[in-house]
Chains A and B, each alone.
Chain A
Amino acid sequence: MNYQKIRAKVENPLLTAFGALDPAVPIYFDNITATPNDSTTEYVRVNVTFGLTNDPTLTSSVDHARGAIVIRVFTAKGAGPARNQTLITTAVDVLETLNDSNKGTTGTYFKVGSIEGPSFSSDENSPLFMGRIETSYVATVLS
């Protein structure tokens, strides 16, 4: 199973998009130690999860996976939702772009489902305001 190829398909464009903002917004993925513990500056946290995966027996060259993508945007607290929504828009644009690609004979074919959210929350003890979107995905790695 090509988990890395699937993960890269969504993580790379998100990294590029948030890196291209001025100023660039830090974005963190699974198992990255640099995620700021109790950070007071804005950042994005992306979680790509895997549900059912399978290796079809008819051919060894195709892998399928399904799962969820959850993107959390943390921005300044008490400053309104505008900045948070702006960053969420960046993430949504990337996810929607993923659906533009056509299925070829090689590479990774990736489609996301309907995007749910954003939902916003702010815990009284948390230093930042959180916006959250989530979607499903299906991926096929053709090699």
Chain B
Amino acid sequence: MAKIDDFETKIRSKMNKTIRAVTRNVMNDLAQAGPVWTGEFRDSWVATSMGTGGTGTGGSYPYQLKDIPELPITKRETSRKTKITISNLADHAAIAMDLKESEYEYPGQEPEGDIILRGTRQSGIRGDIGPKEKDGGDNRATAPLDWFPTYIKGGKFQKAISRGIKLDLPEED
């Protein structure tokens, strides 16, 4: 009987490790897909265990497994449907994710990330930059408009999940 318990614990432990690895992959994907001006938004992704409320070491890009909180391996906790959430703690996260409008000022330094859009701002949405108009502003963006829903809905999120599972499952003790 003890052996079955040990086996179940081992399975649950392995499952948790897989979830943490997938979470790390997704956080790194989000950091790569999103805008990077000072790097604050890129480095503010955090994973939170729904079972303990723990957030690991926090960390910054590139995120590592130690940045992801350990998950409880009790039967009750491992049967929890949502085990972990990923969020961004930057004050301007909603603006960076193109969910809210804002006003923009040149911060006096060029972005850390590559500029992929440059031209005249069309609205208060971060990535809504069109071709440069005469007398229009010289605005820049380091991620395309709606990069976040594109990642979540365009298949890359699902791919990150399957990648994590494929990487972890073949491991043998």
Given contacts A66-B154, A74-B123, A123-B103, contact A134 B149 (CB under 8 A): yes
State whether B150 touches A51 (Cβ < 8 A).
yes
Contacts A67-B150, A68-B153 given; indicate if A125 touches B130 (C-beta within 8 A): no
B102 at the interface (CB under 8 A from A): yes
Residues of B contacting A70 with CB < 8 Å?
A: 98, 145-146, 149
The CA-CA distance from A126 to B103 in the complex, in Å, is 8
- A51-B153, A52-B154, A68-B149 are contacts. A37–B122 as well, Cβ < 8 Å? yes
CB <8 Å contact, B151 and A31: no
Secondary structure dominating the interface of A: strand
Residues 19-66 of A contacting B (Cβ, < 8 Å): 28, 30-33, 35-39, 45, 47, 49-52, 66
Tell me if A135 is interfacial: C-beta within 8 Å of chain B: yes
- B155 and A51 within 8 A (CB): yes
Measured between beta carbons, the chain B residues less than 8 angstroms from A33 are 130-131, 133
What interface size band does chain A fall in? 35 or more
Given contacts A45-B123, A74-B123, contact A50 B102 (CB under 8 A): no
Find out whether the CB atom of B155 lies under 8 angstroms from the CB atom of A66: yes
Contact residues, B129-170 vs A (CB, 8 A): 130-131, 133, 136, 144-147, 149-156, 159
A76 to B94, CA, bound (A): 22
- Asked if A52 contacts B156 (CB within 8 A), the reply is yes
**A72: interface (CB < 8 Å):** yes
Residue of A nearest to B153 (CB): A136
Which residues of A have CB within 8 Å of B123? 35, 38-39, 45, 72, 74, 126
CA distance A67 to B150 in the complex (A): 6
> Chain A interface (Cβ within 8 Å of chain B)?
28, 30-33, 35-39, 45, 47, 49-52, 66-68, 70, 72, 74, 113, 119, 121-123, 125-126, 130, 132, 134-137
Top 9 A-B pairs, shortest CB-CB distance: A51-B154, A52-B155, A136-B153, A68-B149, A123-B101, A49-B150, A35-B122, A68-B153, A126-B124
